Amino acid sequence: MTIDFKGRVAIVTGAGGGLGRAHALALAARGAKVLVNDLGGTRDGSGGSASAAEAVVAEIRAAGGEALANGASVTDFAAVQAMVQQAMDAWGRVDILVNNAGILRDKTFAKMELADFELVVSVHLMGAVHCSKAVWPIMNAQKYGRILMTTSSTGLYGNFGQANYGAAKMALVGLMQTLALEGAKNDIRVNCLAPTAATRMTEGLMPEAVLAALKPEAVVPAMLVLVSQEAPTRTILCAGAGTFEAAHITLTQGIWLGTDALTPERLAQRLAEVTDRAGDSVPQSGAAQGSNEVGKALENAKRAA
């Protein structure tokens, strides 16, 4: 099976360098028309210039592809709507959205200013919300869409000094879960990618030898699969250095303990049973958790009768 994107239109945010650039180039190389979005700011989100996006567009065109540059900030919904309209005016559709734009403002939670927390959430979470909201009616109308959220191991598993980044990145998983359910009837598939890649965002965070192994291009295959015609949906793929894994939010079997005055003590005593991962599952919706809990309560009531 060959993955190709001939006839498809893709928008990649934060695509002026690093991972976003690699995504845009790979999509274009496989036939997609690509709108390259990048604010052109620094790693912490300050400043702005269209030159980064324009340089990637020039690379795509030099290789024989079609591309447009856009310098909108994903935090500005009106600018995002105009960006999507730019793609529609040029190519008449939007098939793929890769939400890649992001910034870092790392500090321990004790030292972090709330403004830095809010800005990181605004760029990563609300930026993805704005872009997804702007393409959603288009994808619904054409009954086809592929949306990729860029989550992170920091969101999935935590990382010292990145409370703001981790909170935003895990929120994107929750956004994916519901959008995938709501988009299913119109073949809108929504997934998450947790990349480990050496980019401007990771400078100074890892040893040089490690950074050398973590080329952004090594993550790209996971992106291509997650936005392809045969893509899964509600999947979290992790990728780095040529290795690919899947992450899951699972639910243990759990135990029924009742709701009387001594339930807290019983729960404390039997917590190891509650957290035992033997037989855990990946619920297909949030309601599945409630079904599991009510089901165990009904089983207990039946036994007691």
In contact, 150 and 131? CB cutoff 8 Å:
no
CATH code assigned at 28 = 3.40.50.720
Q: Which residues contact 202 (CB under 8 A, 6 or more apart)?
A: 211, 214
Asked if residue 258 is part of any domain, the answer here is no
Instruction: Summarize the confidence of residues 267-283 as an average pLDDT.
Output: 97
What does the buried/exposed string (b/e) look like for 203-230 if buried means 16 or more CB atoms within 10 Å of the residue's CB? eeeeeeeebeebbbebbbebbbbbbbee
Q: Is 165 a catalytic residue?
A: yes
Domains contained in the chain, number: 2
Residues 189 and 268 in one domain: no
- Please state the pTM of the whole predicted model: 0.93
Asked if residue 254 is part of any domain, the answer here is no
Catalytic residue chosen out of the listed positions 165, 193, 216, 235: 165
Residues 206 and 278 in one domain: no
Residues 75 and 101 in one domain: yes
pLDDT band at 45 (very low <50, low <70, confident <90, very high): low
Residues 183 and 157 in one domain: yes
**Domain of 205?**
9-247
Asked if residue 256 is part of any domain, the answer here is no
Residue linked to tokens 């790979």 = 26
Residues 243 and 272 in one domain: no
**pLDDT for residue 48:** 56
User: What CA–CA distance (Å, rounded) separates 292 from 286?
Assistant: 11
**pLDDT for residue 202:** 59
Asked if residue 257 is part of any domain, the answer here is no
Residues 242 and 268 in one domain: no
What does the buried/exposed string (b/e) look like for 56-83 if buried means 16 or more CB atoms within 10 Å of the residue's CB? bbebbeeeebbbbbbbbbbbebebbbeb
Asked if residue 175 is part of any domain, the answer here is yes
**pLDDT for residue 302:** 92
Q: Among residues 193, 181, 210, 182, which one has the least CA distance to residue 155?
A: 193
Residues 19 and 97 in one domain: yes
Alpha-carbon separation of residue 142 from 73, 87, 190, 253 (angstroms): 26, 15, 16, 40
Residues 14 and 74 in one domain: yes
Residues 201 and 273 in one domain: no
Record the tokens describing residue 15, joined without a space. Answer: 């695509």
User: What CA–CA distance (Å, rounded) separates 268 from 67?
Assistant: 58
Residues 98 and 205 in one domain: yes
Instruction: Summarize the confidence of residues 238-260 as an average pLDDT.
Output: 97
**pLDDT for residue 43:** 60
In contact, 270 and 257? CB cutoff 8 Å:
yes
Share of the chain above pLDDT 70, in %: 94
Asked if residue 255 is part of any domain, the answer here is no
Alpha-carbon separation of residue 191 from 151, 158, 176, 303 (angstroms): 10, 20, 6, 42
Residues 242 and 281 in one domain: no
Asked if residue 253 is part of any domain, the answer here is no
First to last CA, the chain: 57
In contact, 40 and 48? CB cutoff 8 Å:
yes
**pLDDT for residue 37:** 98
Asked if residue 286 is part of any domain, the answer here is yes
Query: What confidence tens digit (pLDDT) does each residue in 174-233 have?
Result: 999 999 999 999 999 999 999 998 756 556 666 777 777 789 999 999 999 999 999 999
Question: Mapping DSSP to helix (H, G, I), strand (E, B) and coil, where does residue 244 land?
Answer: strand
Q: Which helix (H) or strand (E) holds 150?
A: strand 145-150
Residues 34 and 133 in one domain: yes
